[in-house]
C-alpha cells in the first residue's frame, strides 16, 4: 500500500518540478523583456 | 486563445482529481495484487501519453524538414521535452510497482528495457538541442528525430527477441481486464492527455516568447554596434 | 579557394578541385565542363582520405592502442578462462571496437573543418551524397582494418574458440561495422555543429545504435557458445543497415547545407 502512495506522490512531484521550472524560466524571460523595454 | 487557457486549466484539474478519486476509491480491488495494482492507472496512461507525444514529435520533424515551418520545429521540441517528462514518470512508477509485485526493483524485461532506450533516444535529442548553437539546430534536431523514430521499431523488435530467447522470470501480462478497471484507465488517460496538452501549450508559448526575445536582443546589439561606429 | 591546403598531394588536389572549376574565374576555357560524376567524386575523396591516413596514421594508431588497452583492462575485471570468456567476449569485443571507432568518426569531419574545406564543399556542385559515402567507406575500411588486427589478439588473450559455425562471424562483423560507421559518420556531421563536439558524438550515436550493438553482441555470443543460431541477428543487422543507409543518404544533403 505504501508503494502505491509513493508512486502517486512521485508522479505529482515530477510534474510539479517540471511545471515550476517552466514558471521560473517564464519569470526570467519576463524580466529580460522588461529590461529590454527600458533601454 | 489566451482566455481559453485558464478555462482549460480548470477543466484539466477537475478531470485529474476526478480520475484520482476514481482510481483510488471507485475502481475495484485486484484479486491477485491487492491495492498496489492501482499504480497501473498512472503508469499506463503516462506511457500512452508519452508515446503519443513522441509520435507528434516525429510528424512535426518531418513537416519541418519538408516545409521549413518554424512552428513545426517548436512543436517538435516541445513535444519531445514533455514526452521525456512523461516517460520519466513511467520509468519511476515502473520500479515502484515492480518491487511489491515481482519482488525486484528492475528487471531487464523487454518492455522495460525498450522504454528505457526510448527515453535515452529522446534525452539525446534534447541534449543536441541544448548543445547546438545557431540556426542550424532545427534541421539537425529534425534529422535526429527521424533517425530516432526509425530506430524505435528496431529497438522493440530486437529487445523483444533478445528477451524471449533467454529464460526470464515470467511476468504476467494479464490480457484480460475488468471493465470497471478499463473504464478508470481510459479516464486517467484522458486526464493525463489533457495535462500533457496543457503543459505543451504553455511550453510552446514560452518557447515562442524566448525566440522573439532572442531576435529582439540580436537586433538591439546590432543597432548598438551600428550606432557606435 | 584551396580545397586541399592540408595535404601536399597534387593528384588528390586535382581530383578534388575538378568540381570547382566552374566557380573560379581563372579558367579561360569555354569548353562545357563534363558533368560531375558522383562515383568519381566518391573515389577521389576516398583516395584522398586514405592517403591522408596513410601518411599520418593518427586514427588507426590511436584506435589500435585504445582497443589494446581495453583488452588488458577487461582481463582484470573477470577471470579469462575459456569458459568464462566465451560468455563475455562478444560484448567485450564489440564495445571495444565501438569505442575505438568513435576516434576515427570524430576525425572524419573535424579534418575538413580546417581551412574551410567543408564550406568549399558546400558551394561546389559535387553531389553531397558522394562525399558522405566516401567518408563512410573510408571509416568502414579503417574499422575493418582495426578488427582484422585486433581479432587474433582477442582470440589469443582470451582463448576463444567458436563452438558454432565460425564463418557466420564474418557477416556479423561486416554488417555490424557498417551499421556503426554509417550512423557514426552521419552523427559526426551533426555533432560537428555543436559545442563540445567530441562529447556529443557518442551521446547521439549510442542510443540509436543499441539495436545494432545488441545484434552484434548476441550474434557473436551465440556463435561462440554454439547454443543458439545467429541467423536472426544477421537479418536484423541487415535490416538496420538498409534502413539507416537509406535515411542517411536521404537526409545528409539537408544536414550538410543547414545553416
Q: Which domain holds residue A33?
A: 1-39
Question: Each residue of C116-139: pLDDT tens digit?
Answer: 888 888 888 888 888 899 999 999
Torsion B27-B30-B35-B39 (CA) sign: negative
Considering only CA atoms, which of C167, C173, C155, C162 is closest in space to residue C217? C173
- Distance in Å from the first CA to the final CA of chain B: 44
Helix (H, G, I), strand (E, B), or coil: what is residue C194? strand
Length of chain B: 229
| Exposed / middle / buried, residue C131 (Cβ in 10 Å: 0-12, 13-18, 19+) | buried
C-alpha distance from A17 to closest chain B C-alpha (Å): 10
Closest by Cβ to B136, choosing from C193, C240, C244: C193
Contact B35 A8 (CB under 8 A): no
With CB atoms and an 8 Å threshold, state whether B203 touches A33: no
Cell of B20: 484520482
Report whether B73 contacts B63 (CB < 8 A). Answer: no
Nearest chain B CA: its distance from C6 CA (Å): 27
Let me know if C124 is exposed, middle or buried by CB neighbors in 10 A (0-12, 13-18, 19+). buried
At C22, the pLDDT band (50, 70, 90 cuts) reads very low
- Give the total number of structural domains in chain B: 1
pLDDT tens for C169-224 read 899 999 999 999 999 999 998 888 888 778 889 999 999 999 999 999 989 988 88
Provide the β-strand partners of residue C48. Answer: none
Q: What is the pLDDT of residue B192?
A: 92
**Looking at the partner chain, which of C200, C215, C258 has a beta carbon nearest the beta carbon of B131?**
C200
Is residue C71's pLDDT more than 70? yes
Q: Count up the domains in chain A and report the number.
A: 1
* Structural domain range at position B145: 18-167+175-228
Higher pLDDT, B166 or B85: B85
The mean pLDDT value for C144-154 works out to 90
Q: Which residues of A19-30 are buried (b: 16+ CB within 10 A; e: fewer)?
A: beebeeebeeee
Residue of A nearest to B88 (CA): A14
Kindly list the residues from chain A whose CB atom is less than 8 angstroms away from the CB atom of residue B39: 3-4, 7-8
Mean pLDDT of C219-234: 86
More confident residue, C211 or B166: C211
**Does residue B8 lie within any of the structural domains?**
no
- pLDDT value of residue B3: 79
The CA distance from B133 to B122, in Å, is 18
B117 touches chain C (CB under 8 A): yes
Q: How many helices (H) and strands (E) does chain C have?
A: 10, 0
What is the b/e burial string over B50-77, where b = at least 16 CB atoms within 10 angstroms of the residue's CB? bbbbbebbbebbbbbbeeeeeebbbbbb
Distance from CA of C55 to the nearest CA of B (A): 33
Amino acid at each position: 500500500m505504501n508503494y502505491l502512495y509513493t508512486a502517486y506522490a512521485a508522479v505529482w512531484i515530477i510534474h510539479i518540478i517540471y511545471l515550476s521550472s517552466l514558471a521560473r524560466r517564464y519569470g526570467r524571460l519576463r524580466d529580460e523583456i522588461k529590461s529590454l523595454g527600458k533601454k | 486563445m489566451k482566455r481559453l487557457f485558464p478555462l482549460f486549466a480548470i477543466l484539466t484539474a477537475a478531470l485529474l482529481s476526478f480520475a484520482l478519486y476514481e482510481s483510488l476509491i471507485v475502481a475495484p480491488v485486484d484479486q491477485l495484487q491487492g491495492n498496489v495494482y492501482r499504480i497501473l492507472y498512472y503508469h499506463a496512461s503516462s506511457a500512452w501519453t508519452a508515446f503519443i507525444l513522441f509520435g507528434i514529435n516525429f510528424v512535426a520533424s518531418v513537416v519541418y524538414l519538408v516545409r521549413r515551418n518554424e512552428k513545426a520545429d517548436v512543436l517538435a521540441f516541445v513535444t519531445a521535452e514533455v514526452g521525456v517528462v512523461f516517460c520519466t514518470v513511467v520509468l519511476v512508477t515502473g520500479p515502484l510497482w515492480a518491487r511489491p509485485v515481482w519482488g525486484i526493483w528492475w528487471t531487464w524485461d523487454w518492455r522495460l528495457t525498450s522504454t528505457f532506450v526510448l527515453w535515452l533516444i529522446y534525452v539525446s535529442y534534447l541534449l543536441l538541442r541544448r548543445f547546438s548553437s545557431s540556426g542550424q539546430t532545427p534541421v539537425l534536431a529534425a534529422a535526429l528525430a527521424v533517425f530516432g523514430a526509425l530506430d524505435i521499431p528496431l529497438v522493440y523488435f530486437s529487445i523483444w527477441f533478445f528477451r524471449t530467447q533467454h529464460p526470464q522470470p515470467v511476468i504476467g501480462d494479464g490480457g484480460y481486464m475488468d471493465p470497471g478497471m478499463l473504464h478508470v484507465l481510459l479516464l486517467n488517460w484522458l486526464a493525463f492527455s489533457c495535462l500533457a496538452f496543457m503543459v505543451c501549450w504553455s511550453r510552446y508559448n514560452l518557447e515562442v516568447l524566448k525566440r522573439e526575445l532572442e531576435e529582439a536582443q540580436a537586433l538591439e546589439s546590432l543597432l548598438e554596434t551600428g550606432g557606435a561606429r | 579557394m584551396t580545397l586541399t591546403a592540408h595535404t601536399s598531394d597534387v593528384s588528390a588536389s586535382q581530383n578534388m578541385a575538378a568540381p570547382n572549376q566552374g566557380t573560379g574565374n581563372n579558367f579561360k576555357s569555354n569548353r562545357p565542363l563534363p558533368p560531375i560524376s558522383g562515383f568519381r567524386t566518391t573515389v577521389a575523396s576516398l583516395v584522398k582520405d586514405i592517403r591522408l591516413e596513410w601518411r599520418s596514421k593518427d586514427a588507426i594508431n590511436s584506435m589500435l592502442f585504445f582497443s589494446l588497452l581495453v583488452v588488458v583492462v577487461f582481463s582484470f575485471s573477470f577471470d579469462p578462462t575459456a569458459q568464462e570468456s566465451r560468455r563475455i567476449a562478444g560484448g567485450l569485443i564489440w564495445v571495444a571496437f565501438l569505442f575505438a571507432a568513435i576516434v576515427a568518426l570524430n576525425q572524419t569531419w573535424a579534418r575538413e573543418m580546417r581551412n574551410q574545406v567543408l564550406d568549399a564543399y558546400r558551394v561546389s556542385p559535387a553531389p553531397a551524397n558522394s562525399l558522405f559515402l566516401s567518408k563512410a567507406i573510408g571509416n568502414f575500411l579503417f574499422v575493418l582494418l582495426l578488427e582484422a588486427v585486433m581479432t587474433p589478439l582477442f582470440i589469443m588473450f582470451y582463448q576463444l574458440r567458436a563452438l558454432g559455425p565460425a564463418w557466420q562471424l564474418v557477416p556479423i562483423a561486416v554488417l555490424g561495422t557498417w551499421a556503426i560507421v554509417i550512423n557514426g559518420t552521419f552523427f559526426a556531421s551533426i555533432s560537428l555543429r555543436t559545442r563540445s563536439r567530441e562529447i556529443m558524438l557518442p551521446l547521439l550515436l549510442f542510443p540509436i545504435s543499441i539495436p545494432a550493438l545488441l545484434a552484434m553482441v548476441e550474434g557473436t555470443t551465440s556463435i561462440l557458445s554454439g547454443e543458439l543460431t545467429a541467423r536472426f541477428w544477421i537479418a536484423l543487422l541487415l535490416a538496420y543497415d538498409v534502413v539507416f543507409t537509406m535515411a542517411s543518404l536521404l537526409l545528409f544533403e539537408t544536414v550538410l547545407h543547414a545553416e
